[in-house]
Amino acid sequence: MSDVTPRARPVAARAALPVGVPAPDFTLPGTDGSGRPEGRREWTLSALRGSIVVLVFYPADASPVCTAQLTAYTNDIARFEELGARVLAISPQSVEAHERFARDNGGFGFPLLADGDRAVGERYGVLGPMGFYRRSVYVVDAAGCVRYAHRSTAGLTFRPTAELAAAVAAARTGAAPPRA
């Protein structure tokens, strides 16, 4: 069975979470991005309160755009760290698939989390009508509120680091985020 198999039945697409609402908490298994088995553990969003968190929802490990997106964010991880932000990348593939993906790409600068039943994706409104993830990014402030939201309709491009860094900076100061 493939790690990217959509749900067997169409699902009603939910709207993306709006800016200003509390980010739904979750705990997901994952890997630290190093591609090593000892990097496995669970990550809980609420455990990161006090830090700004960039949630990157991506459709599939090893797809060309997803690989380019996660590689770009890894190359720019210092920009996120300078702003005090943590990055978590989430997709429906298994932890084992994430480990292979990370290993095949020299590792990533952040954890890859497995939302196998797509429950987190559903709560964040990133599922398309057939249950596939839509490429989406949320910035969650230190208090746990959504401060930036972008959900792609086609998923052929991704949000540039500069835009996300501006959203993180805005979340730190309470300023209005850039338009997604």
pLDDT tens string 63-90: 999 999 999 999 999 999 999 999 999 9
In a domain, 4, yes or no: no
Lowest-pLDDT choice from 4-18, 66-80, 138-152: 4-18
Rg (the chain; Cα; Å) = 15
* pLDDT mean over 130-154: 91
For residues 134-162, average pLDDT: 89
Instruction: Note whether residue 158 is domain-resident.
Output: yes
* 21-40 per-position pLDDT tens digit: 999 999 999 999 776 778 89
Residue 3 lies in a domain: no
Range of the domain at 140: 28-39+48-171
Cβ(102)–Cβ(35) below 8 Å: yes
Residue 61 within a domain = yes
> Is residue 6 one of the residues assigned to a domain?
no
Q: What is the pTM of this model?
A: 0.89
Q: Per-residue pLDDT for 116 more than 90?
A: yes
Place of tokens 């996300």: 164
Is residue 33, in this structure, part of any structural domain at all?
yes
13 compared with 175, residue with greater pLDDT: 175
> Looking at the 3D structure of the chain, how many domains does it have?
1
Give tens-digit pLDDT for 90-111: 999 999 999 999 999 999 999 9
Tokens of 136: 């989406």
In whole angstroms, what is the distance from residue 164 CA to residue 99 CA?
Answer: 25
pLDDT at 7: 44
Position 15 in a domain: no
For position 142, which CATH number holds? 3.40.30.10
Kindly tell me if the per-residue pLDDT of 148 is higher than 80: yes
CA end-to-end span of the chain: 35
Beta-carbon count within 10 A of 158 CB: 22
By C-alpha distance, which of 51, 16, 13 is closest to 149? Answer: 16
CA–CA gap between residue 33 and residue 12 (Å, rounded):
32
Structural domain includes residue 10: no
pLDDT band at 156 (very low <50, low <70, confident <90, very high): confident
As annotated, the active-site residues are 66
